[in-house]
Amino acid sequence: MSSSGIPADAPYARLGSTYAGLDVKDARRRRLRASLKVHARRVETALDKLRSRAALALTPDPDGVLARRALVQEAEREVRELDAGGRIFTRRDTGAQVRTRDTLAAADPVLVAGAADDRYEVECLTHRGDPLFFDDANAAARAARRSDVWCEGCRRLGQALHPVRGRARIRTRAVARVVRARRAANKRA
């Protein structure tokens, strides 16, 4: 084989890359160009299909839009009702119940769009202390989880309770050591 890809014993091998008047490299370029055109046409066809599907997906169906809008309004109304009644957090360590309530939830959301100052109320239901007010729902939830910081009754209740978990673990470990020692002694005997 010669460097041009033509068998060395071919009658026109001495002509190099030009074989019977045709340039071998040019023929390869034409084949590649033709296959690239086919590939480009396939890609364009696939893109056109995807564009038409995307256009159909983005075009709203009037009935579907109205149905979705009604579902969203219903869900927002249910959340407003739930927030108006308040959400109750129960502390695991003390059992104290703390309620967070959105004070503007029962009102019309259009009228109170700009009023966000002191919107969320946090109140200890167990000790009936003075409520705290927050601008942010996350801050109100954090305060509800940490009622021992701001509620005097929760603070005293937390101080009165002794941690049992640590002693229970120590006792369990000691019992486990004794049981292992007895088993080892029984095996030796």
- Dihedral class, residue 16 (left if φ above 0, else alpha if ψ from -120 to 50, else beta): left
**pLDDT tens-place string over residues 143-157:** 998 888 898 888 888
What's this model's pTM, rounded to 2 decimal places?
0.42
For the segment 101-113, the average pLDDT, to the nearest whole number, is 63
Residue 35 has pLDDT above 60, yes or no: yes
Which contiguous run of DSSP H or E holds residue 135? none
> Alpha-carbon distance 134 to 132, whole Å?
7
According to the model, what pLDDT value does residue 166 have?
55
According to the model, what pLDDT value does residue 133 have?
92
> What does pLDDT average to over the chain?
77
According to the model, what pLDDT value does residue 97 have?
86
> 134: closest CA among 120, 116, 114, 151?
120
For the segment 113-125, the average pLDDT, to the nearest whole number, is 75
> pLDDT higher for 42 or 14?
42
According to the model, what pLDDT value does residue 108 have?
52
**pLDDT tens-place string over residues 62-74:** 777 788 788 888 8
